[in-house]
Amino acid sequence: MSYAGKNLKYIRKQREWTQEEMANQLQIKRSLVGAYEEERAEPRLEVQEVICALFNISLEEFLFQDLSETGGLASSNKGANHSYLERRRSMKSDKSISLASIVTFVPVKAAAGYLAGYADPEFIDELNTFTLPMLAPGDYRAFEIIGDSMLPTPSGSVIVGEKVDNMKEVKNSNTYIVVSNSDGVVYKRVITNDEATERLTLLSDNPLYEPYQVNTQDIVEIWKAVYIIQKAGTQPMWNVDQLAGVVNNLQDQITHMKRKLN
């Protein structure tokens, strides 16, 4: 259990600060302070580090101890660690420091609002983040997927995607998170990127699902899948009925293709 939200509220009240004053100290939006205190979102690691430096507490104390019960924030610790904050601000402005390993996570419960909030910095800031140090420089986001349309990738997997800014860079046979006004957030394999008709043909890895097309003008974001994160032991097993359905579906598709060729 994390005490981050409760401790942030306790710290703020100890200082007799408003949420706006706390937000100014942390250099974040006031709405984020409210979201953290109400435990609608968890402070990002970067914010946690600033809080701990500002109030001279450890990250372990901030996250795992109830400061209101342990009597945290002794009077001798009430001064802000300005030198640390200055270093943090300097790091933010230093273009040579790579933040490529920081990934914003979009869980299923946030996916419904993602289409409306993907371009809203406050919405994005309220989402949790994690780090993957093996990532090359780039703009990354992670999406939780639900359902069986991309089997053998199991439901509940997290797809880490790199932002694609130019539709010409979308390659056939690769998998992408496609965010469109018509379908919301979906994880699919692109089988055709037709620039002439401005359409993508998307395919599920599970052959029980038919391919379909989406107009590229309807797409607001597209992220190329670079990593798949899943729990150990969640690799699905096909049963006999599922395998029979897959075979029948493939036979129907082959028959349909032969008719078109003839």
Q: How many CB atoms lie within 10 A of CB 255?
A: 10
Helices (H), ranges, the chain: 4-15, 19-26, 30-37, 45-55, 59-64, 67-70, 82-93, 108-117, 121-125, 240-261
Q: Residues 240, 225: contact at Cβ < 8 Å? A: no
Report whether pLDDT(185) > 60.
yes
Flag whether pLDDT at 212 surpasses 70.
Answer: yes
Work out the average pLDDT over 185-213: 94
Please report, for the domain that includes residue 58, its CATH number: 1.10.260.40
Same domain, 106 and 236: yes
C-alpha to C-alpha distance for 248 and 246, rounded to whole angstroms? 6
Find the CATH number of the domain harbouring 155: 2.10.109.10
120, 82: one domain? no
Q: Supply the pTM of this predicted model.
A: 0.58
- Return the SS3 of 29: coil
Range of the domain at 234: 102-255
Indicate if 89 and 123 belong to the same structural domain: no
* Domain edge (last residue) among 51, 74, 93: 93
Identify whether residues 131 and 234 lie together within a single domain.
yes
Chain segment 118-177, per-residue pLDDT in tens: 888 778 878 888 888 788 878 899 999 999 999 999 999 999 999 999 999 999 999 999
pLDDT digits (tens, 9 = 90+) for 11-65: 999 889 999 999 888 888 888 898 899 888 888 888 888 899 888 888 888 988 9
Q: Tell me: do 108 and 227 sit in the same domain.
A: yes
- pLDDT higher at 202 or 77: 202
Domain annotation covers residue 9: yes
